[in-house]
Structure 1
Amino acid sequence: MNDLVQRLSEGKHAVTVGGPKPSLAEFQQRIETMGFVFIKFTETRGGTDLGVRVDKEATDVRQADFEQGTGMVHVEGTLTLNYVKVRCIADIDLASLNGTGNLVILEEVLS
């Protein structure tokens, strides 16, 4: 198993909204329209910015007020990291665009 994937699947880790120009408006658009967000794990060497396909069924924005920039967003989605299929789970505070997250290992892809 890949070391990075293993570490990020154990416990909760500091995350922030990632991508080229992270902002509240872009985060909202990515969740609601594009279905693809960037979640950055900040405690790895240089940070690990992951592109996550949003699972709309598992993502919860009911506690979020995007217009006021307050509340929490629970984001879940899938991706492949270092040949391992994973689910990224993150809780993001809209006031700071920071939060906590982790990976759940789904399966290792043989290369």
Structure 2
Amino acid sequence: MNTHSDGIYHVVVNHEEQYSVWPEWRQPPEGWRSEGKRGSKQECLDYIGNVWTDMRPLSLRRSMTQGKLPEQAPQQQEDTGETLVQVLSTGQHPLRISLRPEASPAQLQRSLDQGVVLVTFTSTQGCTELALNIDHKETRLESADFEKGTGEVRFVGRLVLDDVPVLCEAVVDLQTMAGLGGLKVINIKSVG
């Protein structure tokens, strides 16, 4: 085991263009490569601070620039005092599928099969990502061709948002991996 500690570091970067500092005498972890900058730990951190200005992963930046968001998402509204549940329970809202490293019809099919799908409501302030526990009985895949990436998926998922049990109903176009959805509050009646 190498106990080398000369204080020389290098900047490493991964496929998502995320940066880190790594001791020069150690091999970078799998999936990371040397970016070329070397020096003291502080010099490397200063370098990263100057070059890594957009900390979103590359796949997210690409999906946001490739038109995967609805064309005319409603303007974000001022804070009306409504809770997120109240806002998303009123009407239909633009959303997109959130899968990593990239949203694709094949990945969506796997997520549906596994019973959990991540969706991001794009019209809320800062966007809202929710993990839905899929209700397979209510989900409709008949018009979806996952291999060709065409058609649409209608799915229902359950979750608890801000201590409120809700259903999320959504329709997603497989070509754009975006669509519309909304929440419905689940009324839990106690049995006496």
Normalization by structure 1: what TM-score?
0.90
- Tell me, in whole angstroms, the C-alpha distance in 2 between the residues paired with 1:24 and 1:46: 25
1:54-76 CA distance string (max 9 Å, x none): 00000000000001100010010
Say which SS state the counterpart of residue 70 (structure 1) adopts. coil
Identity in percent: 38
What's 1:38 paired with? 118
What's 2:5 paired with? none
Contact 1:77 1:88 in 2 (8 A): yes
Normalization by structure 2: what TM-score?
0.53
Instruction: Pick one of 47, 57, 70 that aligns with 2:127.
Output: 47
Give 4+ residue runs of structure 1 displaced > 6 Å after superposition. none
Query: Shift of residue 19 of structure 1?
Result: 3.8
Amino acid at match of 2:166: V
- Tell me, in whole angstroms, the C-alpha distance in 1 between the residues paired with 2:106 and 2:143: 16
Aligned residues between the structures: 106
Say which SS state the counterpart of residue 147 (structure 2) adopts. coil
- Tell me, in whole angstroms, the C-alpha distance in 1 between the residues paired with 2:149 and 2:118: 18
Contact 1:84 1:107 in 2 (8 A): no
- Give the superposed CA RMSD: 1.4
Instruction: Pick one of 132, 139, 150 that aligns with 1:70.
Output: 150
Instruction: Pick one of 139, 145, 148 that aligns with 1:59.
Output: 139
What's 1:25 paired with? 106
Larger Cα Rg: Structure 1 or Structure 2? 2
Question: Could you say if the C-alpha distance between residues 83 and 47 of structure 1 is closer, same or farther in structure 2, counting changes exceeding 3 Å?
Answer: same
